Structure 1
Amino acid sequence: MLELLLPPPVDPLWDLTEAYGADARPERLNLVLGVYRDQSGGTPVMAAVREAELRLAERSASKEYRGLSGNTAFNRAMLSMVLGTGGAAERAVAVQTVAGSGALRLLADLICRTRPGTTVWISDPAYVNHRPILEAAGLTVRTYGWLDAEGRADEAGLLRDLAQARRDDVVLLQGCCHNPTGVDPSPQTWEALAGLAASAGWVPFVDLAYHGLGDGLEADLAATRMLAERVPEMLIAISCSKNFGLYSDRTGCAVVLGSSRRSLQHVETALQNAARTLYSMPPEHGAAVVATVLEDDGLRALWRTELDAMRTRIEANRSGLARQLAALGRPVEAESLARQKGMFSMLPLSPRQMLRLRSGFAIYGTTAGRINIAGLPAERIACLAQGISAVLAEDAGRPESHGAQPAPAHHQ
């Protein structure tokens, strides 16, 4: 049997991470994986999370199975945090999942079981795992444009492309801090998207993985909440990896909104059945931590303070890199970076230039140009800016080096 197995494609992010680990240069810089790092280069456990873990340990609660929907207190907390109380939350169902990727897959399976062969639209470029997850669930994937030639949100192109989406198609939208570009639509474009979804009859599918790390928690959730109030049906995949720092605890939530409570009568069971065949039930620890934090006023306030501090550090890294690039005579590139938000930034470099950045300067980002701005030590900002400027200077005059755009989503 095994001799018939063809060589499968490697995961590009983990392949780069392995290459970084094998690089013996002491100055090497890893900006590949999307994890928050503090100034020392570590990924800290948030104080609110640590306190919640201590309280849970003191309770010594049973390790008995929670059930197919996971931790119900966590599910309620996710609905309250993302949708608020009342309104859209009253016509929503939530189940705990194995992180945000698990929520994406569970909801993709729900779509396929409900309407096999459904077309799901994703941005181009997109999060590296969007297409594989959707296609593995048996769905058809189409793309809509995201960036214009200057690296801004192509809002007119986005609306033009999605005008082709048909009734009952699904459109996957990142709720904030777009991965990999760091470029989000304006509030006016979000309003236009809501109107287009309502009139055309396609279903928004919102991926929420970075809320709190862009413009602040409430601002980052505004588009998702607006869509929930405007459309009859909606899907939301939520991750707690980034804003709670629970990367290895794999904590997420899948949310389905219907036109009424009655329309949801079979949804939770369908999600449970899908989960049963994928992973049976999700892990308890991270969900219990999040529920403990969000249900306690003091811990919730501490978490919000820590989250704001993380966001502030990310903003400082990005603005510092933009200033350094401007000082090196790269004002266009600096302006483009300064407009972005969230954990990731898209460098204005082609795949060949990113390879040169890696080979010549020991700086690791994805071939498509994405770097994890949240993993950049402050003392290395100048080094990164110099590397970017040097690579651009090397290619000055080459036609293919001008206006370099990110690679398509499936090439990242």
Structure 2
Amino acid sequence: MFETLKPQAPDKILSLMAQYKEDPRSTKIDLGVGVYKDASGLTPVMRAVKAAEHKLWQEQDSKSYTGLTGDPAFSDAMIKLVLADAVPRNTVAAAATPGGTGAVRQAFEMVQMANPQARVFVSDPTWPNHISILQYLGIEMVPYRYFDSETRSVAFDGMIEDLKTATKGDVVLLHGCCHNPTGANLTMEQWAEVIKVLQETGAIPMIDIAYQGFGDGLDADAAGTRAVAAAVPECLIAASCSKNFGIYRERTGILMVVAADAGAEALNQGTLAYLNRQNFSFPPDHGARLVTMILTDDALRADWQAELEDVRLGMLGLREQLAAELKRLSNSDRFDFLALHRGMFSRLGTTPELVEKLRADHGIYMVGDSRMNIAGLNSETVPVLARAIIDAGI
């Protein structure tokens, strides 16, 4: 039977990782994989996570299941972190998921259950898994303009023009902050314009917020998401704890569904429990429990926020250093956008051929669309990258 299966295209980022690993050059630089790294190239365990794990090891007396949608305390803590007081708590249904990817998948399945004819509007470009999951589920996808390769900023007029073609029953997928793969974010004024379009069209927003705290700070990064949730009757929010808590392998995420009233929340909560049951039954708990402990303990939370702020400022410093070095080498301001982008990623806006030239000539690995992971740099490799970019003619 299985001989009828067709080979699947290899994941481009995983293929890039393998290629990097086989490269013998000691000067090679990995800017491809989307994982935070410190200056030594390590993805560290955060101090608060270690402390919470030690406390959990001492106190936990059972590994029994929690519930189909996870521990309610995790939902409460994450809803507070992402939404604050933007909407009443009793209007928000929530379910723990295996990572932010699991939350995205469950959101798309919920959309398909509610409206099999729904179209999902997706930024061009977006995180490749958005497209992959939509295609796998057979959900119609409509790209909307987002990134201007000339200015390396948001193509906002085109974005609004495209979003106005959405209709009631459609879904508009938005990045809450630190847009992946471009690093170009909406301003609060632009969020307000997007909200007007959502209200006019009746389309439901779905927000993927995977990097809260990596851009301008925990509250600033959630401001757009909170504004949307407060302004529309319904919305979906997929959140990840992989990056801001550094617990990638624990697969900790959550899907939130904001409803117009508490009555609708009950229906949504039951649907989330049903979807979890069909896909993986009970969600993983270890990472979710650590997050809950950190967010509900004043000392742990303060230490976590302090370390997260160091991470954020470190990436911002690398951005500013790279932009300044490129300005010095090019004698132009055409790379200033790097200091304006936020989060782990920036998109250079160059061709796959020049990206390949960077790899072949300089051992610099980035995704073919010119997305690079700023966290893959350190103060010593920034000048190396800058010189390579200029030498490649970018």
Query: Which bracket does the TM-score occupy, shorter chain normalised?
Result: over 0.9
Aligned residue for 1:94, secondary structure, equals strand
Equivalent position amino acid for 2:299 in 1: G
1:263-278 aligned at under 5 Å gives the runs 263-278=264-279
Are 2:113 and 1:107 aligned? no
SS state of the match for residue 367, structure 1? coil
CA distance in 2, matches of 1:111, 1:348: 33
Work out the CA distance in 2 between the residues paired with 1:312 and 1:366. 24
Corresponding residue for residue 225 of structure 1: 226
Match of 1:377? Answer: 378
Task: Specify the alignment match of 1:52 in structure 2.
Answer: 52
Match of 1:13 in 2: 13
Q: Deviations over 1:264-320 (max 9, x none)?
A: 222122112211222112111100000000000111111110110000000011111
Which one is further off, 251-260 or 369-378? 369-378
8 Å Cα contact 1:116/1:138 also seen in 2: no
Is 1:137 the counterpart of 2:137? The answer is yes
Moved more, 327-336 or 168-177: 327-336
Please state whether the residue corresponding to 1:312 is helix, strand or coil: helix
Alignment match, 1:25: 25
Report 1:10-409 matches (<5 A).
10-85=10-85, 87-148=87-148, 149-329=150-330, 331-392=332-393
Displacement of 1:330 after TM fit? Answer: 5.4
In 2, are the aligned partners of 1:170 and 1:203 still within 8 Å (CA)?
yes
Residue 338 of structure 1, CA deviation: 1.8
SS in 1 for 2:393: helix
Q: Is the 8 A contact 1:88 1:228 kept in 2?
A: no
Q: Closer, same or farther in 2 for the Cα pair 1:330/1:102, shift >3 Å?
A: farther
**Structure 2 Cα separation of the partners of residues 161 and 339 of structure 1:** 25
Q: Which runs of 4+ in 1 moved over 6 A?
A: none
* Structure 1 unaligned residues grouped into runs of 5+: 394-412
Q: In the aligned structure 2, how far is the partner of 1:331 from the partner of 1:206?
A: 36
Q: Which moved more, 1:322-331 or 1:116-125?
A: 322-331
How far apart are the structure 2 equivalents of 1:339 and 1:87?
Answer: 30
Q: Would you say the 8 A contact 1:198–1:231 is kept in 2?
A: yes
Percent identical residues: 39
Quote the offset at 1:80 in angstroms: 0.9
- CA contact 1:83–1:89 (8 Å) conserved in 2: no
Quote the RMSD (CA, aligned, Å): 1.2
Aligned residue identity for 1:256: V
Q: Bigger CA drift: 27-36 or 130-139?
A: 130-139
Conserved in 2, the CA contact under 8 Å of 1:112 and 1:138?
A: no
SS in 1 for 2:174: strand
1:181-222 superposed Cα distances (whole Å, 9 cap, x missing partner): 000112111001111111210000000000101011110010
Q: Which amino acid aligns with 1:290?
A: V
Does structure 1 conserve the Cα–Cα contact (< 8 Å) formed by 2:183 and 2:342? Answer: yes
Contact kept, 8 Å, 1:168 with 1:202, in 2: the verdict is yes
Query: Amino acid of the residue matched to residue 145 of structure 1?
Result: R
**TM-score for the superposition, normalised by structure 2:** 0.97
SS in 2 for 1:378: coil
Instruction: State the SS of the aligned residue for 2:34.
Output: coil
1:86 Cα deviation after fit: 7.0
Partner of 1:397: none
Structure 2, gaps ≥5 residues long: none
Partners in 2 of 1:155 and 1:324 — Cα distance? Answer: 29
The Cα shift of 1:29 comes to 1.0
